[in-house]
Homo-oligomer: A and B are copies of this chain.
């Protein structure tokens, strides 16, 4: 079966996010004063095949821990859907 995993990786709250800050400042200067905090992270779309959602989720979890996120500085979450 074909699945797509969507992985979201964001800098940990304790880690400074200068890019997010820069986007925030730019949005303000473009007149979007209603904007508060902005965080900038990565969005990774992985197409993959597997027998069932549970198995696929376990694999994706492992990919995140091993490669897709660096837990020293980043948090991640993901969802898996059939494609």
| A interface, CB within 8 angstroms of B | 2, 8-10, 20, 23, 26-27, 30, 32, 34-50, 59, 63, 66-68
Q: Is the interface of A mostly helix, strand, loop or mixed?
A: strand
The answer to whether B38 and A41 touch across the interface, beta carbons within 8 angstroms, is no
Shortest CB distance A67–B (Å): 6
The answer to whether B23 and A49 touch across the interface, beta carbons within 8 angstroms, is no
Chain B residues near A30 (CB-CB < 8 A): 63, 66-67
The contact sample of 17 A-B pairs, CB cut-off 8 A, is: A2-B36, A10-B43, A10-B45, A20-B45, A27-B46, A30-B66, A30-B67, A34-B48, A36-B48, A36-B49, A37-B45, A38-B47, A39-B44, A39-B45, A40-B44, A40-B45, A41-B43
